[in-house]
Structure 1
Amino acid sequence: MSDDLQSLIKEMRQCRLCETDMERAPNPVFQLSDTATVLVAGQAPGNLADTTGTPFNDPSGDRLRDWMGVSRDEFYDASKIAILPMGFCFPGYDAKGGDLPPMKRCAEVWRNRVLAQLPQLELILLVGGYAQRWHLGRKAEKTLTATVANWKSHARDHMFTLPHPSWRNTAWLKRNPWFEADVLPELRRAVRSALSAG
């Protein structure tokens, strides 16, 4: 790993920019290497990811790994797969018990700096609306469903638009069977191709 990326990671782990706005102490959770060929761009760590310090270390992660067609060992091989959420820390819960949105300051301060240090990326998985809006900009549709439904145009740019793999989206998956039938086989092929390029 380059000295520049090592230095940046150290700086990111010490970040306290949002400390006064968070329920818990800052605990940046991510996985980076400048040799990674796949980037998982998520939202923010959930409770289990925060408490264990491991991204997607929960049932959502199990579902995401199944979608990608990778094993747990492959997923946590930082030399192959980078995991960079829009917000590095668990943002806390809303009044209904759901996770709050990622802290906006995180992407503003860190995201472009990190992406500049990942030169080998072949594929970016945009998991959820926050990542989609940031990475796609004006190419994002008005709704997540429309953005995911337009997956073919984004795949041409080496990006896949995915809903969040949370159990809360199980009803969405049932309403949109085309996602499993059409998107997942292509996603798995693209992931396997990108991993073999490393």
Structure 2
Amino acid sequence: MDQLLNQIRNCSHCTEHLPLGPRPIVAAHPESKIAIIGQAPGTKVHQTGIPWDDPSGKQLRKWLGVSEEQFYDERLFALIPMGFCYPGKGKSGDLPPRPECAPLWHKPLFQNIPNLKLTILIGQYAQRYYLGDAMKKNLTETVKNFKNYLPNYMVLPHPSPRNRFWLSQNPWFEEEVLPELQKKVSVCLESKV
């Protein structure tokens, strides 16, 4: 695993497309219990090199019901983005994750994490890649039907502060999805294997 993580962190596969240059961000361990597959690092995470080290990460930890210490314990959580480097600014937020990363690195990563209990797919890019045709017509419908993807996958919207409007329009998310998410996470973290 260490060798693979070094390869990923030294990847320069799409350097010419990255406005801030390559700085692949990933955290994983062979004993990781839960994988969180997000989009791509933002500028703050690019600067610090720490996954989810921003307001989105703070919100995500709250949703999961875990402490910062638990979240950054690689034996508990593998933090694997769809795009490992900051992709640049778009018209309304960051550009989509680079398409090269997931096909290049996800399979070898998951082959080295044999005892995963749960994979959390955050946002439409991760959901489209992993759910394929099983994804509903949009993110809202996919998240609303989260039970269809259990026990392997839990689907979430992005925890970005920009999604406050979505959260206010979909109160069922905090009422129905978050309690189930926190229960699943707690069970996974308590498992001894």
Picking from 99, 104, 107, the partner of 1:104 is 99
Q: For residue 163 of structure 1, what is the amino acid of its counterpart?
A: P
Q: Is the contact made by 2:26 and 2:81 (CA closer than 8 Å) also made in structure 1?
A: yes
Q: Of residues 19, 22, 28 in structure 2, which corresponds to 1:32?
A: 28
Equivalent position SS for 2:89: coil
Aligned residues: 192
Among candidates 140, 144, 151, match of residue 146 of structure 2: 151
What RMSD, in angstroms, separates the aligned Cα atoms of the two structures? Answer: 0.9
The residue that corresponds to 2:176 in the other structure is 182
Matched, 1:7 2:10: no
* Correspondence 1:136-147 to 2 at 5 A: 136-147=131-142
Q: Is the 8 A contact 2:9 2:26 kept in 1?
A: no
Q: Partners in 2 of 1:118 and 1:135 — Cα distance?
A: 17
Cα shift readout 1:123-143 (whole Å, capped 9, x = no counterpart): 111000000111111111120
Give the equivalent residue in structure 2 for 1:166: 160
The letter for the 1-side match of 2:64 is M
Show CA shifts across 1:56-89 (max 9, x none). Answer: 1011001000000000010000111100000000
The secondary structure found in structure 2 opposite 1:84 is: strand
How far off is 1:95 after superposition?
3.1
TM-score by length of 2: 0.97
* Counterparts of 1:140 and 1:101, CA distance in 2: 18
Q: Which amino acid aligns with 2:186?
A: R
Gaps of 5+ in 1: none
Residue 92 in structure 1 maps to residue 73 in structure 2: no
User: Where do 1:95-134 residues align within 5 Å?
Assistant: 95-96=91-92, 98-134=93-129
Q: Can you list the C-alpha shifts for 1:80-136, whole angstroms capped at 9, x where unaligned?
A: 11000000001110134x111000001121111111111110011100000011111
2:40 maps to what in 1?
44
Secondary structure in 1 aligned to 2:45?
helix
TM-score normalized by the length of structure 1: 0.95
Identity %: 43
Aligned-pair CA distance for 1:30: 1.1
| 1:76 aligned residue (72, 82, 96) | 72
**Displacement, 1:159?**
1.2
Q: Output the CA distance in 1 between the equivalents of 2:18 and 2:28.
A: 24
Q: Which amino acid aligns with 1:33?
A: H
Q: Distance in 2 between matches of 1:89 and 1:173?
A: 27
What CA distance in whole angstroms lies between the structure 2 residues aligned with 1:110 and 1:183?
Answer: 29
The alignment status of 1:59 with 2:52, answered yes or no, reads no
